[in-house]
Amino acid sequence: MAKTFWVLGVFVLWLPLVSAAAPKLLVLGDSLSAAYGIPLESGWVHLLQERIRSHDLPHTVINASVSGETARGGRERLPELLARHEPSLVLIELGGNDGLRGLAPGTLREHLSAMVRMVQQSDAQPVLFAMRIPSNYGPAYTERFRQSFETVAESHDVPLVPFLLTPIAEDRSAFLDDGIHPSAEAQPRILDFVWPYIEPLLHASKRAAVRN
Active site residues: 31, 178, 181
Neighbouring residues of 176: CB distance < 8 A, sequence distance ≥ 6: 37, 38, 182, 183
Task: Give the Cβ contact number of residue 129 at 10 Å.
Answer: 25
The burial class, CB within 10 Å (0-12 / 13-18 / 19+), for 128 is buried
104 φ/ψ angles, rounded to the nearest 5 degrees: -60, 130
With vertex at residue 177, the alpha carbon angle to CA 191 and CA 142, rounded to the nearest 5 degrees, is 70
